[in-house]
Every structure is written in structure tokens, then in C-alpha cells.
Amino acid sequence: MKEFCIKWGKRIATKQMLLIVIVTLAATGIGMWLAQFNGFKILGALIIALLIGMVVQFPIRAWYTKDSAERKAGVKDAAGLIANKFLRLGIILLGFKLNLQLLFTTGAKCLPLAAGVVLVTVLITYGICRLMKVDPLMSILVACGTGICGAAAVMGVSGSIKVSPKREEEKENDEVTAIAIVAIMGTIFALLEIAVLPLFGLTQAQEGFVAGGSLHEIAHAVAAGEGLNNERLAAQQGVVDAATMANIMKLSRVLMLVFVAIIVAIWWDKKHGEVPADGGKRKVAFPWFMLGFIATAAIGTLMLKAWPATTGFVNALGNDVAKVFLGMAMAALGINVNFKALKKGVKPFGASLIASVILVALCIGLALVFFPAK
């Protein structure tokens, strides 16, 4: 225990760690502030924090690590540690945002549909990526980001994949590339759906279902749901309004992240697991933090039911506090990204584009079948 504390104390109590904490916290704060405005709302605070981190790495290299290998290594280690640990903490806290009672009652029909949508989208996107000769790691990250919930899915699934130390940098670069792909794709499709879906003559519930079922980031689904929302029309149609349905369907997909992360961990170990250098048995990187995600969802749901006065506190944990840790993790990822590695994103971008078109068509079909106009 003493050795453990000394080891981690040396990693945490450094000037480089203090620098990265300050920089990533500032990036997150700026991201959360900018995300309030219409021009940035569709991107979301997490993507903005990632972009800031990618930009900030240049002055850090020019002014702080340029002439010191020790500082360079310290910054890389600190950013990697924050990206890894804060990601897991952020996802655990994100569970407070999931009202399980709402999902299992109002959204009962959405849960099995979300499971089907996620399964089909992940398999199709992964298959297209592999046909385009994209490597398995990038393929599964892009597939999960496209099929589940954007950046959070990419990082959550990545956390369940164990690679050798020599491939850690490649994995981090693939994470950033996959996040960039789903962020761009989600933004494009959110704008298209706001403009085009009303032309299909869908009901408010159907439009919300399509937005929540097909868009990538939570921010994309929320923005599209609000853009399509018409409470008066929903009342006339006798259905749930677009914003509410988009949130329910999107959160149903977010819940699938738990199961997908566990399945991917087992699949990756069997198909792509690497034998340790010492010849010992390899261990499955079981995503234990996903159990924490389920636990916080259950705790938050019970608190809302038993003590309605805690609504503000629970929402703050699931939204603001979770976003701070996730934003810092994203900014830290951006600080360590190798821009040359982003060239790998052309083919997976194409695969995600094709899969996203299929996903929208699938969701429109499901909306017409399971939420018919009255």
C-alpha cells in the first residue's frame, strides 16, 4: 500500500499535472460557456473542449516542453492520466442523467427499438469500415460512436479495449479521430434533419424518434429535438412532442453503451487480444466503470422518486459535474493527439457517412411502424 501511494504520488504531485489540470479545466469551462450559444450548441461542450485541447498543445510545446524531454514526458503522462481516469469518473456520473423510471415507462417502447438500432448500426458501420480496409480498432470505435452516443461511446468503448503499451499512443489517436468523425457527422445530420424531416409529413413523436434514434451526440439529439419541437402541434396530434421523444430515444441508446462496452471487451480479447510479453495469461479489460454508470442511474432514479426535492442536485451531477470531468478528459486527449494520425480518418469518415444515411432511413421506417399517426 505504501509503495502504491508513493508511486501514484510521484505521478500526480508534479508541475506538469498542475499545468494540465488548469488547462483542461479552463478548456472545459470555455466549452460549457460557448455551448450556451446557438452557433456552438450543436457541437456541445465536450467537442469544444477537445478542439481547445488540440489547439493548446502548440503553445505548450513551444513554450514549456520544447527544450526539456522530462517536461515533455511529464505533460504526456499527465494528459494521459486525466484522459483515462476522468473519462471513467465522468461516465459514472453521467448515469445520474438516466431516469430509469422514465425509460421503463414512457420510453418502454423505445428501449427494445434502441437496442435494435444500436446493434444494426454498429454491425453495419464496422462491416463497411472493414470492407474499406480500416483497422479493427478504428472500425469498432467509429461504429460505436455512430451507433450509440458519439464521443462518450467512443471513449467508453475504448476504455473496455486493452492494447499493449506500444499501441497506447495509436489507440489515443484513433479515439480523437473517431470522436472528430462522429462530431462532424452528427452536426451535419442534425442540421439536415431540422431542415428536411418536416417535409416528410411526420408527427411530432415520429420526428423526435428519428432525431433521438439517428443522431450521434446527446447535444445533437437535443438540438434537433428543440429545432423540430412544436408542443401545440403535438397536443393536436395527441402525441409526445419532438423534444421529449428525442431525449427519451437518445437516452435509451445511451443505456446500450453499458452492454456494448462489455460485449466489445470480450470480443476484442478473443479476436484481437495480445499475449503478454512474459507469456502469462492476458486479462479481459472488463469495463467495471460501466457498472458504476448503472449504479448512479439507479441511485439517481430512486432519489428522484423518494425525494423529489433532490431533482436539482441529481441533474447537476448528471449534467454539470459529469460534463466537467468528461470535458477535461476530452481536452487532455486533444493535448496528446498526433495530427499526422488524423489522416487515417478519411475512410472511416466515408463509412460513417454511409451508415448514418442508412440509420436515418431505418429510424424513419421504425417511427412509421411503431409510432403511427392517430
In this prediction, residue 276 carries a pLDDT of: 54
Residue 154: which of 87, 79, 57, 223 has the closest Cα? 87
**pLDDT, tens only, 54-66:** 999 999 988 888 8
In this prediction the pTM is 0.83
In this prediction, residue 201 has a pLDDT band, given cuts at 50, 70 and 90, of very high
**pLDDT, tens only, 153-191:** 998 899 889 888 888 888 988 998 999 899 889 989 999
Q: Where are the domains of the chain?
A: 96-322+338-370
Q: How far apart are CA 164 and CA 273, in angstroms?
A: 9
- Mean pLDDT across 108-121: 95
**Residue 282: pLDDT over 60:** no
Residue 143: which of 362, 342, 360, 352 has the closest Cα? 352
- Tell me if 270 sits within 8 A of 283, measured CB to CB: no
- Tell me if 48 sits within 8 A of 35, measured CB to CB: yes
In this prediction, residue 119 carries a pLDDT of: 97
Instruction: Read off the amino acid at residue 175.
Output: E
Task: Report the range out of 44-53, 121-130, 158-167, 304-313 with the highest average pLDDT.
Answer: 121-130
**pLDDT, tens only, 226-253:** 899 998 998 899 888 998 899 899 989 9
Three-state SS at 373: coil
By percentage, how much of the chain surpasses pLDDT 70? 94
